[in-house]
Amino acid sequence: MSDFFADVSRLASVVTNPNNIAAGIMAGAAFVTAFTVLRPLMSSDKLASRMKSVATDRDELRRKSRAALGVKEKSGLRREDTSAFKKIVAKLNLKSLLEDPNVENKLLEAGMRGPKYISVFYFARFTTPIVFFLLALTYLFVAGNEMTANRKLLIAVGACAAGFYLPNILLSNIIAKRKQSIMRAFPDALDLLLICVESGMSIEAAFARVSEEIGTSSIPLAEELGITNSELAYLQDRRVAYENLARRTNHPGIKAVTVSLIQAEKYGTPLGSALRIMAKENREMRMTEAEKKAAALPAKLTVPMILFFLPVLFIVILTPAYIQWQNMDGRKEKTDAAQMKEIKDR
């Protein structure tokens, strides 16, 4: 037993050694640098994979529309969750334990469609706090010998709380990045949609064409337009397709566009004029967001300037003066030593 505690203490001393910590930080920085450089070479064609999922959703909509008309299919593509996550969630009744009424809408905004992602999300919310709690206890057992019991318990509970909120934080980050990508390319997509409609194309063909062209600028927007095109082709009520687009994106600009499209479908108003006005408004909205970020930039740069720029500036300015002062001090010492030697010689 004493040998075990001796090994644990040696391991703790190795882990808490500043040299080893610095080496680990340097190794992590080197890994991040190498990953950043090599990531473009390892990236796959995301547009093709996402549009393949859109084709799967199109087949699913076709199956549902035929089922509504009473037509039987030989091979359906019904998407059911048969994964192990579904079984665990159902067995532990996690949907009732961790009930979140907005989880389905959040997953749709993140581009995660289908019942599988719901099961994975609930499973992650259940297991991540436990994993973080156990990792914190393991670390405290190995390297936290000098900590009090209350402090160890506080750190473990904090790790558990961080694990509980981590899936929601990651999901919110994915939604924010996806929404940002969509809104950057949405005014250009509206211009392309306006050109297609005014050239005589139907709204379905226009959505299909724009989804193909806008994929180089925004893969999420191309995916959403492809899904809307599929829903316009197979849903009985076209209004539902526009409402689904607004619900999946959850952005005021796209909601305004869908309302205009619904009104154009309902009252027969000219679709080109509505798209032209919406494109102008969304372009102004994008410019307003850019101006807002530019106005907030000086306040955000204050702390980095204090931490990184000013010390370097002081070093550049004061180092030559310090060197000159050191040289003057050295010359003064030599002069004093020479004078003392002369006095002794006399």
Residue 259 placed within a domain: yes
| 130 pLDDT more than 50 | yes
Residue 205 placed within a domain: yes
pLDDT number for residue 215: 83
Residue 126 placed within a domain: no
Residue 104 placed within a domain: no
Q: On the CB side of 233, how many CA atoms lie within 13 Å of its CA?
A: 20
pLDDT number for residue 46: 58
* Among 242, 240, 234, 238, residue whose Cα is nearest residue 65: 234
Q: On the CB side of 339, how many CA atoms lie within 13 Å of its CA?
A: 6
Q: Cα angle vertex 164, ends 244, 11, to 5°?
A: 140
Q: Which residues contact 264 (CB under 8 A, 6 or more apart)?
A: 270, 271, 274
Residue 75 placed within a domain: no
Distance separating alpha carbons of residues 238 and 258, to the nearest angstrom: 11
State percent of the chain over pLDDT 90.
1
- Tell me the pLDDT of the chain averaged across its residues: 77
Residue 215 placed within a domain: yes
Structural domain boundaries, residue 223: 186-294
CB atoms within 10 A of CB 186: 28
Residue 117 placed within a domain: no
With residue 249 as reference, give the H or E element that holds it: helix 238-249
Least confident window among 8-12, 105-109, 151-155, 164-168:
8-12
Question: pLDDT tens-digit profile of 177-230?
Answer: 988 888 888 888 888 888 888 888 888 888 888 888 888 888 888 888 888 888
Residue 167 placed within a domain: no
| 281 pLDDT more than 50 | yes
- Number of domains observed in the structure of the chain: 2
Least confident window among 115-119, 228-232, 335-339:
335-339
Which is more confidently placed, 92 or 271? 271
